[in-house]
Amino acid sequence: MENMNDSMNINWYPGHMKKTKDLLKANLKLIDVVVELLDSRIPYSSKNPDIDKIIQGKPKVVVLNKSDMADSVKLKMWQDYYSSLGIKAIPVNTIKGEGVDRIIEECKNVTKEKMKSLIKKGRKERPIRVMIVGVPNVGKSSLINRLTGKKSTQTGDRPGVTKGKQWVKLKGNLELLDTPGILWPKFDDEQVALNLAFTRAIKDEVLDVETLALKLIEKLMDIAPENLKRRYKLNELGETPLDIMNAIGEKRGCFMAGRELDYTRIANMILNEFREGKIGNITLEIPDDVVDK
């Protein structure tokens, strides 16, 4: 564990962080509304801790992507939490396009007064200008493709990609400033790093896969024990994550020569099945556990 931050810095191009922040700040004056994209399973861990400072009071719409993979009760807790801050959090599934029209609606809603006052000043009605921001692998490109209704211009999720200002027409008289709106999560919190690794928002190399799978089992023992039992046909859970990993390996026949368990294979299988939603709809954190930490 002690090398977690070292390996994360290698993965996260710290030099580009400042560059991206500066670029976002510079472009903000052109923008009417910021759409902050989060992963429904880890809304806190997939958030950039500085985003609210960066956007300096601009209207904001929160989008909870991958809502089809989240626990619906916990998803509602997150919506209620944002509602208490006066922000609408919209659950979407960008793969199927569910909830995307509500984003357009809410962007219009939060900019209504500004648009009215522009017209009062004799300005011509113009499209609402939107910027979408989020940490890597949270689904920014697929959201943009849904909002444009076609394959969009290159929206590369590579940190630090810069290009000339480019406005992309979206449905509903919106325009997207197509910048690399890539921000970074909070590094100094081990649970955040683990949640990002569990959902593959960061590469598995942050920890070896066996350790990562044991950490995931430990988390699921706490928050979703029934899902573990059901998925792996276990009558009861062992006392430790390793007990459970052994039981799963035996159930699934993950043996090497000499009937030795193949831990790498078991670990990859558990991580993949979690990421594909096969262990069930699971949200790894709720507002009470993490907000104001």
Annotated binding site for GTP: 65-68, 137-142, 181
Q: DSSP for the chain?
A: -TTHHHHHHHHT-HHHHHHHHHHHHHHHTT-SEEEEEEETT-TTTTS-TTHHHHHTT--EEEEEE-GGGS-HHHHHHHHHHHHHTT--EEE-BTTTTBTHHHHHHHHHHHHHHHHHHHHHTTPPP-PEEEEEEE-TTSSHHHHHHHHHTSPPSP----TT------EEEETTTEEEE----B----TT-HHHHHHHHHTTSS-GGGS-HHHHHHHHHHHHHHH-HHHHHHHHT-SS--SSHHHHHHHHHHHHT-B-GGG-B-HHHHHHHHHHHHHTTTT-S-----HHHHTT-
Binding-site residue numbers are: 65-68, 137-142, 181
